[in-house]
């Protein structure tokens, strides 16, 4: 089971990353741009679940490159990654930290960083992109 501290360790190892608090939630930014953040469900989110079970445990939101990438990530990780109506049309996925393994979490955080970091920063850290 991954934790927000695992997210912090991974995120803060990436160039240009800082951690801040917004509305009492942890947020990681690269050069001022949010790329992963703690995302508890709001009342409106809970109502939209209706009779469906609400995912338990801490939830992380992670940016993705675009909506095509979002669909690919959701298809590749159906047990841990998901979306909700509030995120419809938005290039980000949600991650159930209780179900994601360390390697997938690291990949998710790094890909979110790469989606939001300036291209020059990404090119220095990940020259293959």
Tens digit of each residue's pLDDT (9 = 90 or more) over 22-59 = 989 999 999 999 999 999 888 888 888 888 888 888 99
* Domain with 66 in it: 4-125
61 alpha-carbon distance from chain centroid: 3
Into how many domains does the chain fold? 1
Contacts of 55 (CB under 8 A, 6+ apart): 82, 94, 96
What residues are paired with 92 via a beta bridge?
63
User: How much is the pTM?
Assistant: 0.90
| Lowest-confidence region among 5-9, 35-39, 43-47, 95-99 | 43-47
Q: How confident is the model at residue 127 (pLDDT cuts 50, 70, 90)?
A: low
Read off the CATH number of the domain in which 32 is found: 3.90.1150.30
């Amino acid at each position: 089971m991954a934790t927000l501290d695992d997210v912090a360790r991974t995120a803060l190892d990436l160039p240009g990353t800082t951690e801040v608090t917004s509305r009492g939630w942890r947020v990681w930014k690269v050069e001022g741009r949010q790329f992963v953040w703690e995302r508890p469900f709001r009342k409106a989110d809970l109502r939209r679940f209706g009779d469906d079970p609400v995912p338990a445990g801490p939830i992380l939101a992670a940016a993705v490159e675009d909506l095509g990438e979002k669909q690919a990530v959701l298809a590749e990780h159906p047990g841990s990654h998901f979306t909700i109506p509030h995120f419809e049309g938005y290039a980000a996925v949600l991650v159930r930290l209780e179900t994601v393994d360390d390697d997938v979490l690291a990949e998710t955080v790094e890909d979110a960083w790469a989606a939001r970091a300036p291209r020059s920063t990404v090119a220095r850290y990940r020259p293959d992109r």
